[in-house]
Every structure is written in structure tokens, then in C-alpha cells.
Amino acid sequence: RVCPVRGAAGTGPGRARPDMDLFGDLRRMNKRQLYYQVLNFAMIVSSALMIWKGLIVITGSESPIVVVLSGSMEPAFHRGDLLFLTNFHDDPIRAGEIVVFKVEGRDIPIVHRVIKVHEKGNGNIKFLTKGDNNEVDDRGLYKEGQNWLEKKDVVGRARGFLPYVGMVTIIMNDYPKFKVCI
């Protein structure tokens, strides 16, 4: 399709350009073409959901991919890095490992390093985290009265990353008007 030149017949002020008239295209479609378009869209959405659910099953993590939102883990991870997570419950948590955890009362998961592990004889493990770029441990981030995290708080463990791929997510969160442009 060729885009008409401004000022050509039918493209003056107040008239929609033919290549931008989505609803006109929809009205010109017969029922079969419209059905196929809706079906294609539904297949794309369902495929994305199946891939996401498959990743959840394969990785054992409720959120197999997360974006680093702050600079607290620099230089290991930077703001906007995309992390790939696993969360196999049989794997023991060790000091030095980078975990993503959720704290009761906070919606956004936190990406920090395990600095201390406290193991009891009954197999119960508690651990303390800290951001590489932070001066103090995370006890101030935990819910009131909580000094240690438990395995139930872990969303996943970092297994790989893509640098800065998640910047789009950060831009859309920091500048909500940008969402409208997309």
C-alpha cells in the first residue's frame, strides 16, 4: 500500500488518511476475514500465555523473568537488566547466591544477595540478604519484627540475565504518558 502525499484528494484537514483508517478496513472486511483476524489475535495471545505458563512449570518460579528496578545490586546487575529465575525447592539456599524475594506488605519483588544462612537441625533454613550496592543488610525492608527470610519468601534465584533489555518496562513505569504513545 502506498501512502498518499499530503494535500492529495481525500486527505485534507479533517479526513483520515486511508492507510490509518482501521475502522474503515474493518467495515470493508467480510465476516470470514474478520473471523480470521480475531482468531489470529486470539492465537497470539493464547500462545504467549502458554509460553509463560510453560516457563513457570519448567523453572519452578511463579515469575521466571523479572526486571531489576533499582541500582542496589550494582555492579552485578544494573537497572533495567532482565533476570532469568529458577526456584527448585530441593536446592539449598547458600550465602553468595542472588535471590528474588517478596516481603509481606510489598508488591514488588526485591533482587538481593544472600549474605548469611542460618540452618537449624530440623532442616529449617533462614537467611539474610543485602544489596551489593547497599551499606546495610535488608532487615529494614522486611516486615516489622522479621529479621530473617525463609524459603517461602523466595520468588526465584538468578540464573542468567540480559543487560538493559528491561529498560522499556522501567520507562513505562517511570513515565506513564509513554504508554499512551505505544
Strands 98-101 and 110-119: antiparallel
How crowded is residue 182: how many other Cβ atoms within 10 Å of its Cβ?
7
Q: Return the active site residues.
A: 72, 112, 138
The 10 Å Cβ neighbour count of residue 62 is 12
3 state SS of 93 = coil
d(CA 85, CA 158): 5
